[in-house]
Chain A
Amino acid sequence: MFPILVFRDTLGLLLLLGLDVSAMMFPVVHIGDIDVSFLFVVMMFHIQIAEICEEVLRYLPVSGIIGLILWWEMFFILDNETIPLLPTQRNTTSLRYTVYAGKVRSWTNLETLGNLLYTYYFVWFLLPSLILLVAMIGAIVLTMHRTTKVKRQDIFRRNAIDFRRTIMRRTTDPLTIY
């Protein structure tokens, strides 16, 4: 559960930095794939939750203080502009300047990444695709062990059966009832 929180923290951080595309790639890859697979593994192994719940009460004072400090620091960031009901106020007298070059014609994040990724660095782009293909095949091969009975046909044996001998062996007529 905690890696999910860590990845959500990096997501928020990257959104604050203004990189939207890279920030959107993090949850898609990390949380969506890796954390879900970790959840599957944890569910399969039956890690005992009863042990963890007993020890929570011992850790509560220190972690509670840290949690309260973090919650208190959040109010330094959220000011009255974003959420108009909070009691904090930011000083609005500080000067702000707008960069007008960005408003005339600017690339979006996705455009810049695509501009580089598909033209100059396309070889590096194709190489992780090969690596991911190898990883996919490797994951399938590692989990396909011999105990799973897969019905296969031995083609060579099937071609070698002489049908005259196997089908026409019957000598008694089944329709006659004694």
Chain B
Amino acid sequence: MLEHVLVLSAYLFSIGIYGLVTSRNMVRALMCLELLLNAVNINFITFSDFFDNRQLKGNIFSIFVIAIAAAEAAIGLAN
């Protein structure tokens, strides 16, 4: 179970990097950036679920990543 979710997150991450590098449109680049942050969040949360049951450090860090992603998406779209 663990490795499947991690493979999925790595797959999403690679798709996000590919889309971010090869996109000329700025809106598409921002969407790929959100995809990257989403893949990273999945990674953190699954690791914190399987290894860190007492202190959910990965889970909490992903909360902050979501907040920062929302902030930079707002700024990036305002441009």
Q: Show the binding face of A for B, using Cβ within 8 Å.
A: 3, 6-7, 10, 13-14, 17-19, 22, 25-26, 29-30, 33-34, 37-38, 40-42, 45, 112-113, 116-117, 121, 124, 128, 131-132, 134-136, 138-139, 142-143
Contacts and interface: CB of A to CB of B under 8 A. Distances in A.
B22 interface: no
A113 B56 contact: yes
A22 B75 contact: no
Chain B interface category by residue count: 35 or more
Contacts of A6: 12, 35, 38
B42 A13 contact: yes
Contacts of B68: 128, 131
Interface string B35-71: 1001001100110010000011101101110111111
Contacts of A30: 34, 38, 66, 69-70
A139 B45 contact: no
Chain A binding surface SS class: helix
14 contacts: A6-B12, A17-B5, A19-B45, A30-B70, A33-B73, A33-B74, A34-B34, A34-B69, A37-B77, A38-B77, A116-B56, A116-B57, A117-B60, A139-B75
B74 A113 contact: no
Given A3-B34, A131-B67, 12 more contacts: A6-B38, A10-B42, A19-B45, A22-B45, A26-B66, A34-B34, A38-B73, A38-B77, A40-B77, A112-B56, A132-B67, A139-B78
A25 B63 contact: yes
B67 A128 contact: yes
B63 A13 contact: no
Interface in B1-49: 5, 8, 12, 27, 30-31, 34-35, 38, 41-42, 45-46, 49
Nearest to A32: B70
A71 B8 CA distance: 18
A45 B25 CA distance: 12
Contacts of A13: 5, 8, 42
B38 A37 contact: no
A10 B78 CA distance: 27
